[in-house]
Amino acid sequence: MNSEHAPRGEETVRLSSVRKVYGSAALPVLALDGVSAGFDAGTFTAVMGPSGSGKSTLLHCAAGLDRPTEGGVVVGGTDLGTLDETALTLLRRERIGFVFQSFNLVSALTAEQNVSLPLRLAGRRVNPVETRAALAEVGLAGRGDHRPSRLSGGEQQRVAIARALITGPAVVFADEPTGALDTRNSHGVLNLLRDLADQRGQTVIMVTHDPVAAAHADRVIFLADGRVVQEMTREITAESVATRLASLEARAC
């Protein structure tokens, strides 16, 4: 797997005054209201906030899945606003990994074929040794010929992580990656995400509702009404995160 990433401490993702308005001119919905934030190489950030506060919108704009109405997003030195749809698709394929709550594996493909899919889509050569190494890295050595239906939820999510890693992306976006998992499997997946930042110097940005999941991060950003309202970088525990979240949720009611 390719592992050329920005040196630690260097910013991999930057959002500058990002606004995102959905809906029509008559009925606009302001999902992000001037969000500025940077994410350094080798860091693991959790994004939290009450329901509807803009977490998924932030992730979608930062990952080039959606375009901001105003403001800019830079990923790995490239201003996404300068890219047309084709170039944006290529950048996502090459530079960004995705891990979703629902795993998003292709059911007709084996674990190995799912992992190598991003390489095939990019027209790159698939080296089976590399694919098996990616599966071994997430603890699934010898399971490469299993289809998703023969794997547990935790195992499927680990296949999804191996798939997110195979192109050596600078940044991995995770949207509720443990939402469908039990405690033990959640812990395994969160530790894998932690390792991406610590051992590979990748930038991990995770949206979650779960304070226990957020406590695996080294920074927690809290959103409310489309704005970054708080940030924690120290003493991040499930309890401290839950307390902050509860106070924001109380304000949102």
Ligand X SMILES: Nc1ncnc2c1ncn2[C@@H]1O[C@H](COP(=O)(O)OP(=O)(O)OP(=O)(O)O)[C@@H](O)[C@H]1O
Does 54 bind ligand X (CB under 6 A)? Our answer is yes
Stretch touching ligand X by CB under 6 A, among 50-58, 73-81, 153-161, 193-201: 50-58
Residues 5-44, one symbol each (x = binds ligand X by CB under 6 A, - = not), give: -----------------xx-----x-x-------------
Contact 116, 152 (CB under 8 A): no
Site membership for ligand X, residue 63 (CB under 6 A):
no
| Cβ-based nearer residue to ligand X, 18 or 204 | 18
**Using the rule CB under 6 A, which residue among 39, 45, 46, 49 binds ligand X?**
49
Q: To the nearest whole angstrom, how small is the minimum distance from the Cβ of residue 27 to ligand X?
A: 9
- The Cα–Cα gap between 123 and 216 comes to 35
Position among 13, 42, 55, 205 found at the interface with ligand X (CB under 6 A): 55
Q: Are 197 and 42 in contact (CB under 8 A)?
A: yes
In the complex with ligand X, the residue whose CB is nearer, 22 or 231, is 22
Helix (H), strand (E), coil (C) string for 80-104: HHHCCHHHHHHHHHHHEEEEECCCC
| Helix, strand, coil tally for the chain in percent (to 5) | 40, 25, 35
CB within 8 Å of 163: residues ≥ 6 apart: 97, 105, 114, 115, 117, 118, 134
- Alpha-carbon distance of 110 to 146, in angstroms, equals 5
- Whose structure tokens read 């944006």? 88
Closest separation in Å from C-beta 56 to ligand X:
3
Q: Is 19 helix (H, G, I), strand (E, B) or coil?
A: strand
Is 45 a binder of ligand X (CB under 6 A)? no
- Kindly state whether residue 246 participates in binding ligand X, applying the rule CB under 6 A: no
101 interacts with ligand X by CB under 6 A: no
Indicate the residue among 62 and 135 with the shorter CB distance to ligand X. 62
**According to the binding rule CB under 6 A, does residue 156 interact with ligand X?**
no
Dig out the tokens for 188 from the structure: 């395994």
> Which two structure tokens, joined as six digits, stand for 192?
């894998």
CA distance 131 to 155: 16
Pick between residue 31 and residue 151 the one whose CB is nearest to ligand X: 31
Q: Is 57 in the site for ligand X (CB under 6 A)?
A: yes
Q: How many residues bind ligand X (CB under 6 A)?
A: 12
Residue 29 or 90 with smaller CB distance to ligand X:
29
The reply on whether position 51 binds ligand X by CB under 6 A is yes
Part in contact with ligand X (CB under 6 A); list of ranges 11-19, 52-60, 87-95, 141-149: 52-60
Cβ 143 vs Cβ 151: under 8 Å: yes
Please report, as ranges, the residues that interact with ligand X according to CB under 6 A: 22-23, 29, 31, 49, 51-57
